[in-house]
Structure 1
Amino acid sequence: MMTHLAKRAALLTAAVAAAIGLVTVVSPEHTVTVANAAAIDDDDDVPVAQAAQPKEGDIRGHRRILIVDYLAAKDCKVNANYPVNPGGHSWVIRAGAKIAWRFNVTGKVAAVSDPARGTGFPHWGFVEDSSCIGQSTGQKSSYEQYEHGKWVKHEISFPAGQPMPRRILFGRSQFSPFWKAVDCHPDHGSVPGTKHRMTHNRTLRDAPHRFVIGNVYADWEVRPTSVHQDGYTKVYVPSLHRWGWLQL
């Protein structure tokens, strides 16, 4: 395991690499940082370390498809936040369009991403009735692993025609046992008195770099704590009545 100081130093190196368009190489127990910030935004595994010189077993990319595409079997209404949705921000993914599943909040509500929105805000949301999500479209991707002194490409896929998983508050992970619990209601204690007015739209997460549990709009007030990690701050969001992690 890396020390805290080593992790922080590695993150700084990774940021420089991203700025000049490089790919971050990591050891097998961690995911990869890429130059595309949007890819990191949709990641559930913390990008922490960069190796100056790759070593046996290092990985570039994900070893498993984390966000699975399905076809909407009927129109899917998506709310920007759940269970409360300040401002009533919502949109519809039409029948036949792709809808990307991440995890089930309840037996009926699911956290999803709208591929048609790209990296626009919000592209994450909460579908009101997940029975609108049909079968998987089928996906292919790849990752590279450093083996015997060279990078070897490995193909990965997710089959078409599969139904959406039914387990609650678990999302796919690339590491064994390949499912990670979602903390939809992280706690901290008393609400801080310090107030911060958001200047950018941001996703609220259950932990740094992990699952999206809400969307926080520019001009919303949040209450930041003194707890920071990897560029994220633990905050309380009065509009949503919940704690989470934000990039302020």
Structure 2
Amino acid sequence: MLQEVAMSIQSKTPSSWTSSSTGAAKHQRSWRWGGGSGYMLDLVASHAGISNLYNCELVAHAYRQQVNEHINLVGGDACHLPFKDGTFDFLIAKNLLHHLVGMTRGRSKKKAGDAIREFKRVVRKGGYIVLLEQYNEHEFFASALFYISLLFSFLNISIRWFGWNRKVIVSFLTPQQIKSLFAESGMRIELLRCYPLAVPRRLKYTLLMSKIGRMLLVATRDGIT
């Protein structure tokens, strides 16, 4: 899937920008939220010919060592990004939305919507957002999993054999909810693919994560808005 993301960005890059004779690709800015050590950002950039790279992490000091010395590591909150309007040509967010949690399911969804609106704000008109996100097809089970993980976090309980860590609270969205958040923000979806994931029997039988998967979404901020 990482290769597919790279090709998605590359397909949106005008050939005149990626031509070695012009060198204009150097002036494109690509940013990734929650990029860790920068591996994925480096992979995408190497395929798309983008060299002006920014990696945003909530706890930036934990990832001081980036895989590419040209990556600019920045600390920031996805719902209040430390960038000016229209800063980036491309924005990549991987496995972010389901970690933006509040004290209720509703507040968690609002945080996801706030982040997407911030994505739109910092991407220039005509720019692109690439989202890789885990989803749960069932709203009921996604909500149940959120409140269970929230309770376990408060009680400081982990169940390792079940894959639940007391420090992790998750609020998975359904594919339709993710699509709706982008539509409500005024962005146009150009590519949307869902990849169902096989889960261990112990998870499948609970139904909580029996219908999960990964989504690849590419949206554009049209030049009109």
In proportion to residue count, which structure has more strand? 1
TM-score (norm 1): 0.24
TM-score (norm 2): 0.26
